[in-house]
């Protein structure tokens, strides 16, 4: 029995790299992108604000699975021009990464927007009378506080992301769940799901510990 579980786990190792790749690429790209969207979303220029609002509405208002299907199966079909079709045809992994980054950026945009509202306007005034430039105010005063107040939400979002990576199995990316499903079908034995569940649990355990440490380290 132990041997059987172990052999499944070994097989899944191959899938882990995709799970991890999706996780890290998404986190690393969607946070800065989300932050940028936050500034657009709170821009004084009405049209910029409106477009960003529309984007966030679409991304948060439709299923991530649908977005995955769209980028993998649908995107290339929007043009009849073969050249365009070629350019818009994404590999499974590319489609997965594009969908995840764009989707999570919308969520981070809203998280950071909430965090921005939590920063007292007295902070900007104090920075201004001390002579700090707009950029210095942003990097030295606003961003550190923004990251600190949104840390619990970022932690939450990361845990959701770990679980969401399993969705890409639907467009055939060979990550953990893909292998688990294949094993279950082949061996008519559900243990592979258990092993997959363990992988996700361990990843989320590590993440939770990491964020707890960060929250403690940056508490004030």
Partner 1 sequence: MKMLEVKGLKKSFGDLQVLDGVSFSVEKGETVAVIGPSGSGKSTMLRCLIDLEKADAGDIMVENEFLMQDGVYVQDKKAQQICAKMGMVFQSFNLFPHMSVLDNLVCAPVSVKKEPREQAIQRAKKLLQEVGLSDKADVYPSALSGGQKQRVAIARALMMNPDMLLFDEPTSSLDPQLTSEVLSVMKKLAEEKMTMVVVTHEMGFAKEAASKILFMCDKEIIAEGTKEDIFDHPKDRRIKEFIDSILS
Instruction: Enumerate binding residues for partner 1 (CB under 8 A).
Output: 120, 122-123, 125-126, 128-133, 136, 140-141, 144-145, 148, 218, 220
Between 25 and 119, CB nearer to partner 1: 119
Between 137 and 174, CB nearer to partner 1: 137
Residue 63: CB atoms within 10 A of its CB come to: 10
Q: Are 29 and 101 in contact, with CB atoms under 8 Å apart?
A: yes
CA distances from 192 to 18, 161, 202 (A): 18, 21, 15
Report the C-alpha gap between 124 and 3 in whole angstroms.
Answer: 61
Strands of 43-110 (E only): list them: none
Between 133 and 208, CB nearer to partner 1: 133
Give me the least distance between CB of 19 and partner 1, in Å please: 34
159 CA to centre of own chain: 10
CA distances from 103 to 34, 68, 108, 170, 191 (A): 10, 10, 9, 17, 32
Between 17 and 134, CB nearer to partner 1: 134
Between 61 and 131, CB nearer to partner 1: 131
Give me the least distance between CB of 219 and partner 1, in Å please: 9
Give me the least distance between CB of 172 and partner 1, in Å please: 45
Q: Which of 191, 202, 38, 178 is nearest to 117 (CA)?
A: 38
Between 146 and 168, CB nearer to partner 1: 146
Give me the least distance between CB of 152 and partner 1, in Å please: 16
Q: Are 119 and 146 in contact, with CB atoms under 8 Å apart?
A: yes
Phi and psi (nearest 5°) for 219? -75, 150
Between 153 and 174, CB nearer to partner 1: 153
Give me the least distance between CB of 50 and partner 1, in Å please: 25
Strand, coil or helix: 80: coil
Give me the least distance between CB of 116 and partner 1, in Å please: 15
Give me the least distance between CB of 125 and partner 1, in Å please: 6
């Amino acid at each position: 029995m132990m041997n059987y579980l172990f052999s499944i786990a070994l097989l899944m190792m191959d899938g882990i790299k995709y799970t991890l790749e999706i996780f890290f690429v998404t986190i690393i790209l969607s946070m800065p992108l989300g932050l940028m969207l936050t500034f657009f979303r709170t821009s004084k220029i009405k049209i910029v604000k409106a477009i960003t609002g529309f984007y966030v509405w679409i991304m948060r208002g439709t299923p991530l699975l649908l977005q995955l299907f769209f980028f993998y199966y649908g995107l290339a079909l929007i043009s009849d021009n073969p050249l365009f079709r070629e350019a818009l045809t994404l590999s499974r992994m590319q489609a997965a990464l594009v969908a995840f980054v764009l989707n999570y950026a919308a969520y981070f945009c809203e998280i950071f927007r909430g965090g921005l509202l939590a920063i007292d306007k007295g902070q900007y005034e104090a920075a201004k009378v001390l002579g700090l430039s707009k950029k210095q105010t942003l990097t030295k005063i606003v961003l550190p506080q923004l990251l600190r107040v949104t840390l619990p939400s970022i932690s939450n979002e990361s845990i959701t992301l770990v679980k969401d990576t399993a969705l890409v199995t639907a467009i055939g990316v060979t990550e953990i769940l893909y292998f688990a499903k294949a094993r279950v079908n082949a061996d008519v034995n559900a243990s592979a799901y258990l092993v997959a569940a363990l992988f996700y649990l361990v990843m989320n355990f590590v993440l939770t510990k990491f964020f707890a440490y960060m929250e403690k380290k940056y508490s004030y």
